[in-house]
Amino acid sequence: MAETDIKSRKDLLDVESLSIGEIEYLLKTAGPFKELFRRSVKKVPTLRGKTVLTLFYEPSTRTRTSFEVAANRLSADVTNFAVSTSAVVKGESILDTIETLQAMRTDYIVIRHAASGVPALIAKHTKASVLNAGDGYHAHPTQALLDAFTVREVFPQTEKKKILIVGDILHSRVARSTSTIMRKLGMDVSVLGPGSLVPKGRPDYMNAFWNWEDALAWKPDVVYLLRVQMERQEQQFFPSLAEYHRVYGLTSERFKQVEGEGIYLMHPGPVNRGVEIVDEAMTYERCLINQQVENGIATRMAALYWLKPGEDD
Amino acid sequence: MGSERTLLSGEGITEKVNELAAQIRKNCGNEVPAFVGVYTRGVTLAKRVKQALQDEWPEIALGTLDVSLYRDDLDALESAPKLESSDIPFGVDGTRVILFDEVMYTGRTTRAALDVLMDYGRPSRVELAVLVDRGNRELPLQPDYVGLKVDTEAGDYVAVRFAEDDDREGVFLNYG
């Protein structure tokens, strides 16, 4: 049986540290996993007897469910560590929590945390494989992988294809991770957003546009709309949601142009209809949002399959 | 690496493929089976036997299986095996299926292949065809159709090489 040159790793913490070979391996591996969904038995015995723990310090029903479905389809036992009701609210430190989880002999930990770097810290202190499901403004590697897989489905050759990322670039780990992976796959990446939400210190390859007209004149192949993070708007970066929609949202008028030019639409979900995206765009045939959800399960299965927990003492 | 002995030449393989085709034809009577090849070279073997039966049974359906996700030794591997697409383009329920693998050895691959197949449905019957049976079974499974039976030691390596997958054609025994 042919073995691959791509060695397993213990953790998946960010996109930056993934080599192009590792990315290609994960994208290729996700394909056969997606095909399983068409079988009557959607489950394979690969991780039988292994335990996957989801540890979400920030709520995210979608990402957590996607990981849970992925782990279930690999026959792992999945447990959710309910953070808000746990000792964490009683003041237990993260490392104490990890000690507890280590004693439970968990094989994989899926973690989301509001502070950047927490998954890496945990990875250092546990033998379990750690999958970063989003940390602060830092990284969301499985989102990047599912986005890349989705783009590859419509453009098998990603080289020189153009993606425009729209919205709050500054506070978005999705923007960071997804732009990084698209760049690694040879795509041209541009961003569009309010001046207050586009980082000044962005990488050289990343063009910034300040209005839709200029951005669409760049002829993107994919427009990637970010979610307006209502819960993170304690600080005012733009005057109002209606104002955001008018200036930076995909309005009816802009959608007509997108549709006319056959540009693909993506969004990490959940969608704020009428804010970043107009209702009718949701049923557009080149809107890939539902595909992204399905692909999320397949790529997370590929990630779980690839990672290998550390050895017991 | 020890010495190498050629067990079958390219012509030898063709002869064995034709024998397998004849045995299958005889055994199945009027019931046209479906073929399923186990990646990588079991797929090539299945294609060749199908080709040999082209005139009589042009309608044989051909599927492929990757057993990686069903292996029992994943924990012992350094890296996760590369996955291929399992593709069963016919309804498995009630179908007579013949599995193809190039070499039968411990029987563990066959066990995994049976498990994959059962997750697609309930075949009326499953049989196994192999080009080479090299013995040393670790599970109670036996092939129904065998091209060549050869005695080997556990440390030996039997290499089936097909022009479609490799740079040469033949069956070789490398002594451990």
Structure token pair of residue A150? 């989705």
Domain tally, chain A = 2
Shared-domain flag, residues A118 and A213: no
SS (H, E, C) chain A: CCCCCCCCCCCECCCCCCCHHHHHHHHHHHHHHHHHCCCCCCCCCCCCCCEEEEEECCCCHHHHHHHHHHHHHCCCEEEEECHHHCHHHHCCCHHHHHHHHHHCCCCEEEEEECCCCHHHHHHHCCCCEEEEEEECCCECHHHHHHHHHHHHHHCCCCCCCEEEEECCCCCCHHHHHHHHHHHHCCCEEEEECCHHHCCCCCCCCCEEECCHHHHHHCCCCEEEECCCCHHHCCCCCCCCHHHHHHHHCECHHHHHHHHHCCCEEECCCCCCECCCECHHHHHCCCECHHHHHHHHHHHHHHHHHHCCCCCCC
Average pLDDT in the A211-238 region? 87
Look up tokens 């698209």; give the residue: A182
Interface residue of B71, B88, B106, B119 to substitute, partner A, most A CBs within 10 Å: B119
Compare all CA atoms of chain B with the CA of A309 and give the residue at the minimum distance: B75
- Pick from B79, B83, B121: which is nearest to A32 by CB? B83
Q: Measure in Å the smallest separation between the Cα of A10 and chain B Cα atoms.
A: 11
What is the per-residue pLDDT across B83-127, written as a single tens digit (0 to 9) for each? 998 999 999 999 999 999 999 999 999 999 999 999 999 999 999
Residue A312 has pLDDT above 80, yes or no: no
Shared-domain flag, residues A40 and A153: no
Structure token pair of residue A17? 């540290």
CA distances from A64 to A61, A68, A131, A163, B112 (A): 5, 6, 12, 27, 31
Q: Which residues pair with A131 in a beta bridge?
A: A12, A110
CATH of the domain at A125: 3.40.50.1370
Average pLDDT, chain A: 92
Shared-domain flag, residues A148 and A278: yes
Compare all CA atoms of chain B with the CA of A3 and give the residue at the minimum distance: B81
B45 compared with A103, residue with greater pLDDT: B45
Domain span at A89: 20-139+294-306
Compare all CA atoms of chain A with the CA of B76 and give the residue at the minimum distance: A308
Residue B67, SS3? coil
Q: Measure in Å the smallest separation between the Cα of A62 and chain B Cα atoms.
A: 26
Q: Do A32 and B84 touch (CB under 8 A)?
A: yes
What residues of A are in contact with residue B106 (Cβ under 8 Å)? none
Q: Please report the pLDDT score of residue A3 as a whole number.
A: 41
Q: Do B83 and A33 touch (CB under 8 A)?
A: yes
Buried b / exposed e across A282-296, counting CB within 10 Å, b at 16+? eebeebbbebbbebb
Compare all CA atoms of chain A with the CA of B82 and give the residue at the minimum distance: A4
Residue A279 within a domain = yes
Q: Please report the pLDDT score of residue B113 as a whole number.
A: 97
Q: Do A35 and B81 touch (CB under 8 A)?
A: no
Residue B99, SS3? strand
Residue A5 within a domain = no
Q: Measure in Å the smallest separation between the Cα of B35 and chain A Cα atoms.
A: 18
Residue B41 Rama label (left phi>0; alpha psi -120 to 50; beta): alpha
Which amino acid belongs to residue B6?
A: T
Shared-domain flag, residues A125 and A175: no
pLDDT band at residue A39, thresholds of 50, 70 and 90? Answer: confident
Q: Do A46 and B87 touch (CB under 8 A)?
A: no
Domains of chain B: 11-75+83-153 (3.40.50.2020)
Shared-domain flag, residues A284 and A298: no
Query: Is the CB of A311 inside 8 Å of chain B's CB atoms?
Result: no
Instruction: Provide ipTM, 2 decimals.
Output: 0.85
Q: Put the strands of the sheet holding A77-81 in their side by side order.
A: A77-81, A51-56, A108-113, A129-135
pLDDT band at residue B77, thresholds of 50, 70 and 90? Answer: confident
Which amino acid belongs to residue A291?
A: Q
Q: Please report the pLDDT score of residue A64 as a whole number.
A: 96
Shared-domain flag, residues A190 and A213: yes
What residues of B are in contact with residue A38 (Cβ under 8 Å)? none
Shared-domain flag, residues A135 and A145: no
Half-sphere exposure (CA, 13 Å, Cβ side) for B98? 29
pLDDT band at residue A85, thresholds of 50, 70 and 90? Answer: low
What residues of B are in contact with residue A305 (Cβ under 8 Å)? 69, 80, 83
Q: Please report the pLDDT score of residue A233 as a whole number.
A: 60
What residues of B are in contact with residue A41 (Cβ under 8 Å)? 119-120
Average pLDDT, chain B: 95
Interface residue of A9, A39, A127 to substitute, partner B, most B CBs within 10 Å: A39
Residue A249 within a domain = yes
Residue A239 within a domain = yes
Residue A81 has pLDDT above 90, yes or no: no
Q: Do B82 and A2 touch (CB under 8 A)?
A: yes
**Diameter over CA atoms, chain A:** 62
Q: Please report the pLDDT score of residue A87 as a whole number.
A: 62
Shared-domain flag, residues A128 and A262: no
Residue A2 has pLDDT above 50, yes or no: no
Shared-domain flag, residues A164 and A133: no
Peptide bond into A270 cis (omega under 30): yes
Query: Is the CB of A33 inside 8 Å of chain B's CB atoms?
Result: yes
Shared-domain flag, residues A132 and A145: no
